Structure formats: structure tokens, C-alpha cells
Amino acid sequence: MRQENLRNIAIIAHVDHGKTTLVDKLLRATDAFRANQQVEERVLDSNDQERERGITILAKNISIEYKDVKINVIDTPGHADFGGEVERVLKMADGALLLVDAFEGPMPQTRFVLRHAIDAGLSIMIVVNKIDRPGADPEKAYNDCLDLMADLGATDEQLEFAMEHVVYASAMNGFARLDPSDDNDNMYPLLDMIVEDMPAPEVDPDGPLAMQCVTIDHSEYVGRIGIGRIYSGTIHDGDKILVVKNDGSRANATVKQLFTFDYLGRKECGEVGAGDIAAVVGIDRTDIGDVYTDPENPVELEPIEIDPPTLAIVFEASTSPLVGREGDIVGARQLKERLMTEAENNVTMRIEELPDKSGVEVAGRGILHLSVLMESMRREGFEFQVGRPRVLIKKDENGNRIEPIEQAVVECPGEYSGKVIELFGNASGTMTNMEQGETICHIEFKIPTRGIMGLKNRILNVTHGEGVFYHTFLEYGPFAGELGVRNNGAMISMTTEKAVAYALGTLQERGQLFVGPGDECYEGMLVGERSKPGDMVVNIARTKQLGNQRSSTADIAVQLTPPRTFTLEEALEYIMDDELVEVTPKSVRMRKRILNAIERKKANVRAGLVNK
């Protein structure tokens, strides 16, 4: 039977198309806040990094009440690196709001999330957002969504439902309309459509208990909290239940606390019925995919598969000459303990200590996925160093090497399209589609994940900063052979001193600098990029020789170009195999793995990279 007083819906969209802002307005429309309550914008982006980056990283559950119906809303990440969250949480939903920007239309990561929603059999309602944006074309965005659904293999029922259920909205201004030309100024048309037309959960309230854990929360006080949807029966506080793991093993457990979602928080309750989403405390070492069921009449549910990681990186204790100046936690033991704690809470990452105990390898879905962990750690006071990200290569049934392939999309002015295509060609990319608009050219590629590294900066350079670049994991494909590496050499400091303006003035004629006057540098640190191939060891502390005669140019100041700064992700994409990124709470520095120039040359000779 259907639970008519419940609706479970997910909100799916490309990053930055307005999901979290829309949820804000739905909360306000249903009086979730007191009249005098001070509420931040994008209230669901509670994590500091989410607010700074403007993206959702963790899927979150809230519930709202409207016309005596409880609507459980799941806000999903839009970025493909956090797709592990999306795949699982869609299992809790019966329907989805597909949110698209009226100007941009569906984007690559819309395709990624939508494919999972279609595969899960969800009823999909289209919400065309930002209809008040200059240049918006709501009708084209709506038609593009239908075309995309058809491309991804949506059923006739899903396509019919989407054609009949479309809402035009501006989440920023708090209105939703059935027709873009209406003058309605509230969110009620969207809420009415959800309550009246979204399917209620179809469950067996009188059957044996069946609940599947799809998200893990963690509390310092009670440990892991399993969150999931109840497919049949009712779960009570204090129940004795059977926990069936993904591998088939079984264990008995007792429910110590039980919560449901209530607006922005959780509400402790004595029982939760079929169709609702519950948070269960008391299941030791509960994991994604665990089924909580009746010990006397166990129910079997499909196991949950999590997409494997595609990129790995090694964390090591910092060996920099400046270690300990900016961070409080620098030891290898503390670094290992912190990463093993992350392995407990973050099931989408694979975290293992290296056999020689020299570091810990962390595998994730992409550079952003890994850099979010690094950013969290540096904010906690950790100082550490990481190597170049390594793509995880597998073997197919025939023993051939296969590697992750990405779908990449570039939008740029038409005059730069040739240079963009050339860049992708050099990185083993293959163009799959090209559409020339009035001013903007839309180009799609298939490219190995290895080829993506460092590509964003090169695209911005050749498009004079006007290119927009997105990519998302597509599939595993044949190994593309060796790819080109960074063409330009690095400038490497020969001493551990502060950089001097006089020295930098002469060095900037040789390439681009990464440091400014007064910056702390050390032997082996990358201080710039040459305009030619081959590394160059430089003296960044050289001062002007002073004689006893006056110079006609004594009063001319050194004119320095501002140094190039790197974010954590940019530094990870920039470095080579023999280089490291040093991460501290205040700085991101790049360095050679072997700091001493003579030792570096000996190592290169032993490796056969240079002649003796």
C-alpha cells in the first residue's frame, strides 16, 4: 500500500544550479523558521568548505510539512567527485526534482546524477531555475532535459511524467510558476505539485522489518549512526534486530536510539513506520548496504554497490626544512591515526597504509574529492606532504590494461575552439560533439583521467580566461599509452633563505615566479616555472653587489610581476612524479622529492634519466 502522508524526494542538478538555495526557500515557505530567527543563506551547506567553495559535498536529509504531508527532501551533491553519495541516497527516494539553469541547460554532471535517478526508476519532475537570469531560455532548457532523459534510456512512463510536470522558478527570488509569464511570487505551486503528483512510498506496513543503511553519520558519543529508508514493517526503540552485511554475514543488535528527520534537525522518537527515513543508533560498526531486519522473518534486499575510486594519492609526514613552523600536528603516527579515522567515516574512500610504512595511500573519485580531505586536515592543524595523484589502472577479462575515461565539456568563444581541440588532442582526448552557438562554442570530449590533470589552467590560458571546463567520470576504457607531461622546466631554489626582490627581478625574465619578496624558501623548493624545458637551480637570495661608486640607476626600483599562486587542487595537478606538495595550515608549497641538487642528479643517473 502507499503511505499517502509521506513523500520522499531527491533534488538533483549540476553544481551551482541552485539546489541548496531552492531547499532554503522551501523551508521558508513551510514556516520552518521562527519569524524573528536569523538564518544564513544556503542553510544546508553547513560545512565551512561547502560555504566557501559554493558546492554541496555531503548529501543531507531534511523534512518539511505541507498540507499534512511530510516531505523528506534529500539535497545531493552536484559534483561528480562526490557521486558515491548520490548513488546511495537515491535509493531512499520515490521521485526527484531535476533542477536545471534556464541559461545553461543540462550540464555534464546533470547527466551523471540523472542517469542514476533513471536507473533507480524515480519519477522525475523538471524545475527550470533562474528564469529571471539575463539570456535565459526556459523552453530550450526544458526541451534539452527531455532529450537528455531520452538519451539516458528513460522509460516512456518517466518521460510522460516529466513532460506533464514542469515548474519554472527563481530560487534566489523565492517563486515557482507553472508558466514563465505568470506573476506568482511564492513557492506553493511547486509544493502543490510535489504533494499532489509525486508518488507516495509503496510499502508493506504490516510486514517484517526491512531497512537498508545508505548513509553513515558519526558522533563522538555514540559512534556510527545508520541512516536509511524503511521498506516494510516498523522499527521501535529497543528492538532486537538482525543486521545482514553486504557479504552475507549476520549479527544481532539492539536499537539504542531512534530518530526521524524534522525540518533541519532530527527528532528522537519511539517508532518509525514504513516509508519514512530513520537514523538508528546502536549498531556496532554498521556499514553502507547493511540491512536491518526481523530476526525471525529476515528480508533480503539488493546489496549496494559503491563505484570504485579512480585516483590515489600518498600522504607522508612532512620532511620540509620549515616543518613545524605553521602546523601543530606533524608526526607520522598522528597523520596515520587521522586518516584511519577518516576510513571509518568515509566509505567512498579507500585508505591503506603502504607496505613499507612510509605513508598512507588514499584513493578517491577525483582530485576535488581528495583535496577536500586535505583541506579539512590542514584546518585541523596538520602539516604533511603528498605526491602526484596516480590513476588506478585495472585489467579487463582478457588481461588488457584499462583506465578511467572522463567526459569533458568546454564552452568558449568560437575563435578559441581550435586551440582547445589541439590541447585535448595532445592529451589523448577525442572530440565527440561540437555545437557552435551565436558566440559560444560547446565542445564535448572523451579523455583519459590522466590527461585531465593540469588541463584546466592550459584551457584558461588559450581561451584568455573565457573558457568554462567541466568533466565527469564516464567509464573504464582501453589504456591510452604514455601521455605528454609538463613541457616547461621548474626553477628550484638552491638555498634556504627569504626571497630577495633583486634576485627575483632577473629571474622573472626567465619565466613565471611562484614566490614574492620576503617569502620563506628552502633548498629544493619550486619557486617558478621556466619558459623552456629542463629544470634550473636558481639563487633567490642574490643581492646587488655594492661598490663605493654611485650608479646612475640606483634609484630605479625593481618592477616585479605578481607571483602565480596555486590552490591545493592546482598544485596537485601541476607537480611531476619526482615532486611533492607540502600542505600546512597557512601555505601550499611545491618541492622536489630530493631537496639537494647533487643528490637529485645522482638519483637521475641511477634511474637512467640523464647521462653521467
- Between vectors from CA 529 to CA 425 and to CA 381, what angle results, nearest 5°? 105
The string of DSSP codes covering 192-240 is: HHHHHHSPPPB-BTTS--EEEEEEEEEETTTEEEEEEEEEES-EETT-E
User: What is the CATH superfamily name and number for domain 490-545+553-579+590-606?
Assistant: bipa protein (2.40.50.250)
6-197: CATH topology is Rossmann fold (3.40.50)
Backbone angles phi, psi at 508, to 5 degrees: -70, -15
Give the pLDDT of residue 443: 87
The whole-number average pLDDT for the span 309-317 is 87
Contact indicator for 321, 522 with CB cutoff of 8 Å: yes
Top-confidence residue, 591 or 610? 591
Contact indicator for 19, 11 with CB cutoff of 8 Å: yes
Top-confidence residue, 547 or 578? 578
Judged against a pLDDT cut of 70, whether residue 83 lies above it is answered with no
The whole-number average pLDDT for the span 19-44 is 58
Burial class (CB in 10 A: 0-12, 13-18, 19+), 382: buried
Judged against a pLDDT cut of 60, whether residue 291 lies above it is answered with yes
Judged against a pLDDT cut of 80, whether residue 384 lies above it is answered with yes
CA distance 420 to 360: 37
Q: Are strands 277-281 and 271-272 parallel, antiparallel or unpaired?
A: unpaired
Q: State which amino acid sits at residue 320.
A: S
- 525: DSSP letter: B
Contact indicator for 215, 88 with CB cutoff of 8 Å: yes
CA distance 62 to 71: 8
- Note the pLDDT tens digit of each residue in 511-530: 899 998 888 999 999 999 99
Largest Cα–Cα distance of the chain, in whole Å?
Answer: 99
CA distance 76 to 83: 9
User: What is the CATH superfamily name and number for domain 210-293?
Assistant: Translation factors (2.40.30.10)
Judged against a pLDDT cut of 50, whether residue 44 lies above it is answered with no
Q: Which three cell numbers stand for residue 361?
A: 595511500
The whole-number average pLDDT for the span 214-227 is 73
Give the pLDDT of residue 526: 92
Give the pLDDT of residue 9: 85
- Between vectors from CA 369 to CA 226 and to CA 419, what angle results, nearest 5°? 150
**Burial profile 36-47: b = 16 or more Cβ within 10 angstroms, e = fewer:** eeeeeebbbbee
Please report which confidence band the pLDDT of residue 50 belongs to, taking 50, 70 and 90 as the band edges: very low
Contact indicator for 212, 304 with CB cutoff of 8 Å: yes
CA distance 530 to 521: 17
Give the pLDDT of residue 549: 66
Top-confidence residue, 419 or 545? 419
In the annotated binding site for GTP, the residues are: 16-21, 129-132
Nearest to 368 by CA among 22, 115, 15: 15
Domain 394-478 class in CATH: alpha beta
3-state secondary structure of 333: helix
Contact indicator for 333, 315 with CB cutoff of 8 Å: no
Residue extent(s) of CATH 2.40.30.10 domains in the chain: 210-293
Give the pLDDT of residue 36: 38
Judged against a pLDDT cut of 80, whether residue 486 lies above it is answered with no
Contact indicator for 370, 389 with CB cutoff of 8 Å: yes
Give the pLDDT of residue 492: 92
Top mean-pLDDT range of 123-127, 254-258, 604-608: 123-127
Nearest to 369 by CA among 301, 449, 292, 296: 449
Mean per-residue pLDDT over the chain, rounded: 80
Judged against a pLDDT cut of 70, whether residue 446 lies above it is answered with yes
CATH code linked to domain 316-386: 3.30.70.870
Contact indicator for 515, 492 with CB cutoff of 8 Å: no
In the annotated binding site, the residues are: 16-21, 129-132
Please report which confidence band the pLDDT of residue 350 belongs to, taking 50, 70 and 90 as the band edges: confident
User: How far is CA 314 from its chain centroid?
Assistant: 19
pTM above 0.85, yes or no: no
- Note the pLDDT tens digit of each residue in 190-203: 888 888 888 888 87
Residue extent(s) of CATH 3.30.70.870 domains in the chain: 316-386
Q: Which three cell numbers stand for residue 140?
A: 530550450
The conformational region for residue 3 under phi > 0 = left, psi -120 to 50 = alpha, else beta, is beta
Q: Are strands 210-219 and 579-583 parallel, antiparallel or unpaired?
A: unpaired
CA distance 207 to 232: 6
Range in 36-45, 407-416, 589-598 with the lowest mean pLDDT: 36-45
Nearest to 11 by CA among 147, 148, 114, 160: 114
Residue extent(s) of CATH 2.40.50.250 domains in the chain: 490-545+553-579+590-606
Distances (CA, A) of 14 to 39, 77, 395: 25, 8, 31
